[in-house]
């Protein structure tokens, strides 16, 4: 897919971001947690909330700073997406990690409740993710790869690797920081190819 280029995600791309993420991680064989969190699937109400959540998580819609799309330059189709976070002042104590968790929880669950969403499981999963990240990074500044998703029709064709390389150069290499990410079974081969070490 040599006609792919990386572009900052635009507000008009929010639905593509969500649909690509959902198509990549929705099937149970790709990620067991998503179907358990959202057993009714990607309903219109959930789509509305996920749009709002993405804006909350990117501090009011500064999407182009942290969210990127791999776009086919010939067709204009977005085939993969990534979302990054720079944490220059990470939590150094458990109390700080708990405060950080509250901020993340507010961004994640601060909108209206969506019928059929397993919020209890979502909060438990989020808590585990935040504290695992805190324990591993131990107060060191770092870059977090929050999402990397490729539409199933375009997987294993280089789009995910393109976004990964771009983010590593744009954030980690430029700032001289390590990268933290959570990976499912589908992503581990790609991350292993780029030198990521499986910690858990």
> What is the arrangement of strands in the sheet containing 142-150, beginning at the earlier edge strand?
4-8, 67-72, 78-87, 142-150, 179-181
Residue 179 included in any domain:
yes
Q: Which of 101, 124, 105, 104 is closest to 36 using CA atoms?
A: 124
Whether 170 is in a domain gets the answer yes
Q: Which residues contact 134 (CB under 8 A, 6 or more apart)?
A: 90, 91, 94, 97, 100
What would the mean pLDDT of 176-196 be, rounded to a whole number?
A: 90
For residues 100-112, give the mean pLDDT. 87
> Between these two residues, 16 and 183, which has the higher pLDDT value?
16
> Rounded mean pLDDT of 66-90?
95
Give the DSSP letter string of 63-113: HHHHEEEEEETTT--EEEEEEEEEESS---SHHHHHHHHHHHHHHHH-S--
Is the residue at 155 inside a domain?
Answer: yes
Q: Is the pLDDT of residue 61 over 60?
A: no
Higher-pLDDT residue of 121 and 112 is 121
* CATH code (residue 26): 3.40.630.30
What end-to-end distance do the CA atoms of the chain give, in Å? 33
How sure is the predictor about 72, in pLDDT bands with cuts at 50, 70 and 90?
very high
Report helix, strand or coil for 180: strand
Let me know if residue 150 belongs to a domain: yes
Return the number of other C-beta atoms located less than 10 Å from residue 131's C-beta: 16
Residue pair 116/40 in contact by the 8 Å Cβ criterion: yes
Closest listed residue to residue 86, CA positions, set 14, 20, 200, 173 = 173
Task: Name 156's Cβ contacts closer than 8 Å, sequence gap at least 6.
Answer: none
Region 92-115 average pLDDT: 89
Q: How confident is the model at residue 28, as a pLDDT?
A: 66
Q: What is the CA radius of gyration of the chain?
A: 16
- Range(s) of the domain holding residue 150: 4-193
Question: Is residue 199 assigned to a domain?
Answer: no
CA distance 135 to 167: 23
Q: Are 44 and 124 in contact (CB under 8 A)?
A: no
Neighbours of 23 (CB within 10 A): 17
Confirm whether 69 is domain-assigned.
yes
Distance from the Cα of residue 146 to its chain's centroid: 3
Question: Could you tell me the pLDDT band of residue 135, with boundaries at 50, 70 and 90?
Answer: very high
Residue 32: pLDDT over 90: no
Q: Is the pLDDT of residue 57 over 60?
A: yes
Residue 198, in any domain of the structure = no
Q: How many separate domains does the chain show? A: 1
Q: How confident is the model at residue 62 (pLDDT cuts 50, 70, 90)?
A: low
Judge whether 159 lies within some domain: yes
The whole-chain average pLDDT of the chain stands at 90
């Amino acid at each position: 897919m040599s006609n792919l280029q990386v572009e900052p995600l635009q507000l008009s791309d929010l639905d593509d971001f969500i649909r690509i993420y959902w198509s990549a991680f929705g099937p149970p064989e790709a990620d067991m947690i998503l179907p358990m969190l959202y057993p009714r699937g990607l309903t219109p109400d959930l789509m509305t909330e996920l749009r709002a959540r993405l804006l909350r998580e990117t501090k009011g819609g500064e999407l182009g700073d942290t969210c990127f799309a791999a776009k086919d330059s010939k067709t204009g189709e977005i085939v993969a997406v990534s979302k990054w976070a720079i944490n220059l002042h990470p939590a150094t104590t458990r109390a700080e990690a708990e405060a950080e968790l509250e901020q993340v929880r507010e961004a994640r669950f601060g909108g209206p409740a969506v019928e059929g969403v397993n919020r209890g499981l979502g909060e438990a999963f989020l808590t585990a993710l935040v504290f695992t990240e805190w324990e591993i990074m131990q107060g060191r500044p770092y870059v977090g790869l929050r999402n990397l998703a490729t539409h199933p029709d375009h997987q294993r064709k280089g789009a995910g690797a393109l976004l990964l390389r771009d983010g590593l150069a744009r954030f980690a290499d430029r700032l001289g920081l390590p990268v933290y990410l959570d990976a499912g079974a589908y992503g581990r081969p790609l991350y292993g190819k780029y030198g990521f070490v499986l910690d858990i």
